[in-house]
Amino acid sequence: MSVAHALWTTGPGQVELREELLPVIGTADVEIRTEFSAVSRGTEALVLAGAVPPSQHDTMRAPFQSGEFPFPVKYGYLSVGTVEQAGPRAQDLVGRRVFCLHPHQDRYVVPASSVLPVPAAVPPGRAVLAGMLETAVNGVWDAGLGIGDRVTVVGAGVLGLLVATLAARVPGTDVEAVDVRTDRAGTAERLGFRLVAPDDARRERDVVLHTSGTGAGLTTGLQLLGDEGLLAELSWYGDRNVEVGLGEGFHSRRLTIRASQVGRVPPARAPRWTTRRRLALALDLLSDERFDALLDGVTPFARSAEVLPGIAAVGGDALCHRFSY
Mean pLDDT by 10 residues, the chain (325 residues): 94 97 97 97 91 93 96 98 98 98 98 98 98 98 98 97 98 98 95 98 98 96 98 93 91 97 94 98 98 95 96 74 97
Q: Which amino acid is at 82?
A: T
pLDDT of residue 315: 55
Collapsed DSSP state (helix, strand, coil) of residue 297: strand
- Can you tell me the distance from the alpha carbon of 183 to that of 157, in angstroms, rounded to the nearest whole number? 11
Collapsed DSSP state (helix, strand, coil) of residue 89: helix
pLDDT of residue 312: 82
- Can you tell me the distance from the alpha carbon of 265 to that of 185, in angstroms, rounded to the nearest whole number? 31
pLDDT of residue 42: 85
Please give the sequence-ordered ranges of beta strands (E in DSSP) within the chain, or none if there are none.
3-11, 14-21, 29-38, 66-67, 73-74, 79-86, 97-100, 107-111, 115-117, 150-154, 174-178, 194-196, 205-210, 225-233, 256-259, 295-300, 320-324
